[in-house]
Amino acid sequence: MRAIALPTSELPDEVVKELHARVYTRGDQKEVRFDWRAVPALLPVWWNGRLQIVRWGNRDRAERKLPPTGWTWKATVEKGRWVGIEPEPVEIPANYVLANGVWFRVREGLRGLMVRTPSGVPAVFVVCEPATRYYRVMTRAEWMPVLIKEII
Q: What is the pLDDT of residues 97-146, one digit of tens each?
A: 999 999 999 999 999 999 998 788 899 999 999 999 999 999 999 999 99
Answer whether 100's CB lies under 8 Å from 13's CB: no
Supply the pTM of this predicted model: 0.93
The pLDDT score that the predictor gives to residue 35 is 96
What is the percent of the chain where pLDDT is above 70? 100
The pLDDT score that the predictor gives to residue 59 is 85
User: Any long-range contacts for 132-136 (C-beta under 8 Å, 24+ apart)?
Assistant: none
Cis peptide bond prior to 40, omega within 30° of 0: yes
Q: What is the pLDDT of residues 51-85, one digit of tens each?
A: 999 999 998 777 778 888 999 999 999 999 988 88
